[in-house]
Chain A
Amino acid sequence: MAKQLNVFVDNRIGRIKSITEVLFKAGINIRAMAVQDRGDFGLVKLIVNNPEKAVFALQENNFACKEKDVLAIVLKDRPGGLFELLKVFPEDNVNILDAYGFAAETIKGSVFFVEVKDVEQVSQFLESKGFKVLTDAEVLEI
């Protein structure tokens, strides 16, 4: 399963910059990123090339961060690509906590990252519907 880092940040100037600085100094490459804002604080979500090393570097620098399993679903990079997925997504019993995506040249498609509670179960369900859910290693190769 793809690994995402959730980093707790105060809502004040320069916090995301600090994260990127820590990761840069540790030689980490950020592949995708999203921010969830809750007023006084927020979560920065990161897909990186070396999650373990990134967690270590961030924790060394006092950041509270947690590695989470997320779904990395391959979509067709064309109109309706995301719609095709959401049509079959078992929305009635799966709550999407957060989602973001990007188009990736190397796989001739898009990758859509989805945070859900029961990652394994949703992953198996999507694969049964013909969707490709990338493994951790596959995400790193994009």
Chain B
Amino acid sequence: MATVFRNKAIECISRTDLAKYQLKHFNQTIASALQTPFYQKRLKKLGIYSSADIKSLDDIKKIPFTVKDDLRDSYPKGLLAVDIKDVVRIHTSSGTTGIPTVIYHTQSDLDNWTELVTRSLVACGVTDEDVFQNMMTYGMFTGGLALHYGAERLGALVIPSSSGNTQRQLQLMKDFQTTVVHATPSFMFHVASKIKELGYSQEDFSLKKAFLGAEPYSENTRRKIEEFYKIDAYNSYGLSEMNGPGVAFECTHKKDMHIWEDAYIVEIINPETGERLPDGQQGELVLTTLKRCATPLLRYRTRDLTTIIADPCPCGRTHRRISRIMGRTDDMMIINGANVFPSQIEQVIMKIPEVGNNYQICLTRDGALDRLTVKVEIYSKLFAGDLSELEKLKAKIRDALKASIIINVAVELHEPGSLPAFELKAKRVVDLREKL
């Protein structure tokens, strides 16, 4: 089957031309970055006063890494490079310490982002004849909106069904003969387990493809989903700091993910030393935006571990690929597709006086869905002796966590001193989920 391209000139650009293209856009990005209070200070210290001070792509090595804390410290406007009236959308994410981070988008930022998503969908064989059911959460979470606009631009029929509500998802899949879905792998398993129970059979559906994302999963999980639904399932990679989905995508060959190098400069570093690693070696992915006007980010440490694959892909695209994400260099947890840091939970529960010193975060799987249980010890001195007070305390913890991490949490109260205590660095997360 011949490869279909969205933009063959860019997707198959020679590496030499790509380097020129990147340098041009890197210069523009530096110019944008100099418009932000954060980078202005940082770049001027390095003697970079204008984009003319960047002579080659190699000059990027002079620039220090940008980390999540920089985004937090710059909240809300320290990384804004344009007049706020030119911003048409923001995406914020809750921070590990309660301080959120924000990414601003101008109309051209959104257009470029959508184009990357459309290109990715085309690379996986989606066409304007497809019916695309988007089972990802809409809103601040970038996964829903990104694929929605990408599929619309392609001309597919888009069903913005959002996440959850299995009964309605199945009804829509049947009534509109959905051919492509976008979902988390755990939701795909969950839906699979409900088909019979809700009165449907596999023959009711015309599914051909699934885009699986927002949480790490294995080849084995992909195979299981493909076999169950008799479809092709594709992996993708993105993070809200880099727009969201559309950073890297598989093509129909399903061999690792093309990272769109016309939009990002890709580096892999040793997470301990910061030293740049050659292609083929596993390390932390570091990305620089090339096409973002409102929030340019230079050498952003993603905390995701991966490997660059430089071998040519049979599809003919020249953009290198990254392997499946192998893990994180921090303690971020992914719960039903949402990102949560243990420190966010700690921040919330330690503010509640009736909670004692120790707590534990337990992750389990209930069917196909993740379940988060927070176990806390009660504080002896504030124990009132009433059941009703204890129930109120539970509800208070549950509500406070829900407000902070936007996830439903089961709360358990425990006796003082009953949870494992740690002398140095506490290991408070117990992940009992089987790897997907």
Do A and B interact with each other, yes or no?
yes
Residues on A facing B (Cβ under 8 Å): 6, 8-10, 15, 36, 38, 40-41, 43, 59, 62-68, 97-98
Q: A64–B414 Cα gap in the complex (Å)?
A: 10
A64 touches B412 (CB 8 A): no
B415 touches A8 (CB 8 A): yes
Q: A66–B383 Cα gap in the complex (Å)?
A: 7
Question: Which A residues are CB-close (under 8 A) to B388?
Answer: 97
Q: A66-B385, A68-B385, A97-B388 are in contact. List 16 more A-B contacts (CB 8 A).
A: A8-B390, A38-B387, A38-B391, A41-B412, A41-B414, A41-B415, A43-B390, A59-B380, A62-B380, A62-B415, A62-B416, A63-B380, A64-B378, A64-B383, A65-B385, A98-B387
Report the nearest B residue to A43, measured CB to CB: B387
Question: Which B residues are CB-close (under 8 A) to A67?
Answer: 385
Identify which of A41, A59, A66 contacts B384 (C-beta below 8 A): A66
Specify the main secondary structure of chain A where it touches its partner.
strand
B172 at the interface (CB under 8 A from A): no
A97 touches B413 (CB 8 A): no
Q: A35–B196 Cα gap in the complex (Å)?
A: 43
Report the nearest B residue to A117, measured CB to CB: B386
Report the nearest B residue to A98, measured CB to CB: B387
Q: How far, in Å, is B414 (CB) from chain A's closest CB?
A: 5
Question: Which B residues are CB-close (under 8 A) to A64?
Answer: 378-380, 383, 415-416
Residues 410-424 of B at the A interface (beta carbon under 8 Å)? 412-418
Question: Which A residues are CB-close (under 8 A) to B379?
Answer: 64
Q: How far, in Å, is A61 (CB) from chain B's closest CB?
A: 9
- Between A8, A38, A63, A64, the greatest number of chain B beta carbons within 10 A of the residue's beta carbon is seen for A64
Report the nearest B residue to A62, measured CB to CB: B417
Question: Which B residues are CB-close (under 8 A) to A40?
Answer: 412-414
Residues on B facing A (Cβ under 8 Å): 378-380, 383-388, 390-391, 412-418
Question: Which A residues are CB-close (under 8 A) to B412?
Answer: 40-41
Report the nearest B residue to A66, measured CB to CB: B385
Q: How far, in Å, is B390 (CB) from chain A's closest CB?
A: 7
Identify which of B378, B386, B391 contacts A6 (C-beta below 8 A): B386
- Between B387, B388, B412, B413, the greatest number of chain A beta carbons within 10 A of the residue's beta carbon is seen for B387
Report the nearest A residue to B389, measured CB to CB: A66
Question: Which B residues are CB-close (under 8 A) to A68?
Answer: 385
Report the nearest A residue to B411, measured CB to CB: A40
Q: A98–B386 Cα gap in the complex (Å)?
A: 10
Question: Which B residues are CB-close (under 8 A) to A9?
Answer: 415
Q: How far, in Å, is A70 (CB) from chain B's closest CB?
A: 11
B385 touches A10 (CB 8 A): no
Q: How far, in Å, is A9 (CB) from chain B's closest CB?
A: 6
B390 touches A38 (CB 8 A): yes
B415 touches A10 (CB 8 A): yes
Q: A98–B387 Cα gap in the complex (Å)?
A: 10
Q: A36–B387 Cα gap in the complex (Å)?
A: 8
Question: Which B residues are CB-close (under 8 A) to A8?
Answer: 378, 383, 390, 413, 415
Question: Which A residues are CB-close (under 8 A) to B391?
Answer: 38
Q: How far, in Å, is A119 (CB) from chain B's closest CB?
A: 13
Q: A41–B378 Cα gap in the complex (Å)?
A: 11
Question: Which A residues are CB-close (under 8 A) to B383?
Answer: 8, 64-66
- Between B390, B391, B413, B415, the greatest number of chain A beta carbons within 10 A of the residue's beta carbon is seen for B415
Report the nearest B residue to A67, measured CB to CB: B385
Q: How far, in Å, is B293 (CB) from chain A's closest CB?
A: 52
Question: Which A residues are CB-close (under 8 A) to B390?
Answer: 8, 38, 41, 43
Q: List 8 A-B contacts (CB under 8 A).
A: A41-B412, A43-B390, A62-B380, A62-B416, A62-B417, A64-B415, A66-B385, A97-B386
Q: A63–B417 Cα gap in the complex (Å)?
A: 9
Q: A16–B379 Cα gap in the complex (Å)?
A: 20
